[in-house]
Chain A
Amino acid sequence: MKHRFSFLLAAFFVFFTGCAGLKGEDAPASAQIFAMDTAAELTAYGPEGQAGVDAARAEINRLEALLSRTRPDSAISALNGAGAGNPVTLDGETFALLALAQDVSEATGGAFDVTVAPVMDAWGWTGGERRVPPPEELAALLPLVGAQDLELNPEASSARLARAGMKADLGGIAKGYAAGRAGEAVRAAGVTCAMLDLGGNITVIGNNPEGIPWRVAVKDPAHPGDYLCVLSLTDCTVSTSGGYERFFEADGVTYHHILDPKTGYPAASGLRSVSVVSENAALADALSTACFVLGAEDALALWRSGGGLDPFELVLCREDGVVTVTEGLEEGLRFLGGDHGYTCETARR
């Protein structure tokens, strides 16, 4: 008898408690904002949802004002405007983000570089008219690129750019950082279920409203409207970079926006897209760009070594149609790319 009631209780627990979620509650609070050079959708569930969305929005706007290169009063504008060799004292937050950017730059052999800004400007990727810069123009700009010449002084919390004409731009990491901080703000407001979509950079808080891990689809870079796979995620960020996001054509050639800091030209590493999953949202953002530049083999080597960075996982879509998913994402993975001829393989350490 005792065993039967235990079984009955367990069954009810599974059915009604384990699956309990917020699905049946009121509509979630949501907001759409334009910040960090993207359209962001913020969604939070539960009684504190509106407070969570408000807190996330305030945090993203605050960070844009602090970190944007196009805001004349931002910390980054102060650094860029200080002139060669002149140190600028920075707030702890901007300094820490620059330090993380340098760590990623070092770990990826320069595949990620916050000083690539002058070359990005020459291509028109920062608001100007898109164009293919002449080779001599790129040759003149490339010496201005080099994260090692962004000198950080932790004691003074200061930074300086070594050469005239250098510029720092946190565009490749700030969106992720803002997503991470906004996620913290949402949690601090008492929200346990939320999703922050910063232009396809997805941060999930807790489980989804049904009480199971969030299901995040990864876009098929070659077939708009279709998906490579669905990841099963809780409390982390997935950031995806690919040449299909922003591009233009000139003389029949397609040029995308992810530049290889070493050549000044769009990265051509054999990858169509890279998705990075990490609890460190800023790292996920920076690594999605870096791994796209590195290519599949070097990206997997970095994943295997860890690079001294926080843990992360990868989805690599190669031009030959192979989708490589690292083993940490295996649980709950649903592969959807078969209809378009993709094959899926799991990378193991």
Chain B
Amino acid sequence: MAIPVKPPAAERLRPTPWDALIAALVLGAAVLLALSLRPAPAGPLTAVITLDGQIVAQYELDRLMEPAALPVGGPYPLVVEAEPGRIRIAESACPGGDCLRSGWADRAGDRIICLPNRLVISLTGGEEAVPEFDAVSG
């Protein structure tokens, strides 16, 4: 009775068309994954101003041609100042003045808060790299 003989090790390790097919499939999967995780276009750098949760104004800071001042009423009147590419609270009658000391906000993810007025300025978008994080502590 003939005993089946295994092919030599070198022959068994030689790439076959199956190997090529598997490599192509894995490569294709990687490309699909990369495409699916590609960040969406960020859009213009936009400042959204909310007062007690309601949007009161919105500025596309990238496209702003000249400075703009927005007086906001509320318990402690304040003035929001927007310039091409950045925004701040320029004046505020609030007791602590923390919002004034926040200075300019000019990047996606930046926030300026005036707690006594319940006012929040949030920045999104912009041409700079999309932030490589999900949240900011501090």
Please report A residues at the B interface, Cβ cutoff 8 Å.
Answer: 1, 4, 7-8, 11-12, 15-16, 19, 23-24, 31-34, 37-39, 127-130, 195, 197, 199-202, 204, 208, 210, 214-219, 221, 224-225, 227, 230-231, 238-240, 242, 245-248, 273, 275, 334
Contact = CB atoms under 8 A, between A and B. Distances in A.
B106 interface: yes
Contacts of B102: 224
A12 B135 contact: no
A38 B115 contact: yes
Interface string B90-114: 0000011110011101110011010
Interface string B116-133: 001010000000000111
14 contacts: A11-B25, A15-B30, A19-B33, A34-B118, A39-B118, A195-B135, A210-B37, A216-B133, A219-B137, A230-B132, A242-B138, A245-B138, A273-B138, A275-B137
Given A39-B115, A225-B106, 15 more contacts: A4-B19, A8-B22, A15-B29, A16-B29, A23-B37, A32-B50, A39-B118, A197-B135, A214-B134, A215-B132, A217-B131, A231-B137, A240-B137, A240-B138, A248-B97
Nearest to B120: A39
B25 A8 contact: yes
B82 to A, nearest CB: 17
B53 interface: yes
Contact of B136 (A24, A208, A217): A217
B53 A32 contact: yes
A218 B135 CA distance: 9
Contacts of A7: 22
B101 A247 contact: yes
Contacts of A128: 95
Nearest to A228: B138
A327 to B, nearest CB: 19
Nearest to B27: A11
A204 B135 contact: yes
Contacts of B22: 4, 7-8, 11
A224 B104 CA distance: 9
Interface string B17-52: 011001001100110110011000000000000101
Contacts of B32: 15
Contacts of A218: 136-138
B33 A201 contact: no
B133 A217 contact: yes
Nearest 8 A-B pairs (CB), nearest first? Answer: A219-B138, A215-B133, A240-B138, A217-B133, A240-B137, A15-B29, A238-B137, A11-B26
Instruction: Select the residue from A34, A129, A197 with max chain B CB neighbours within 10 A.
Output: A34
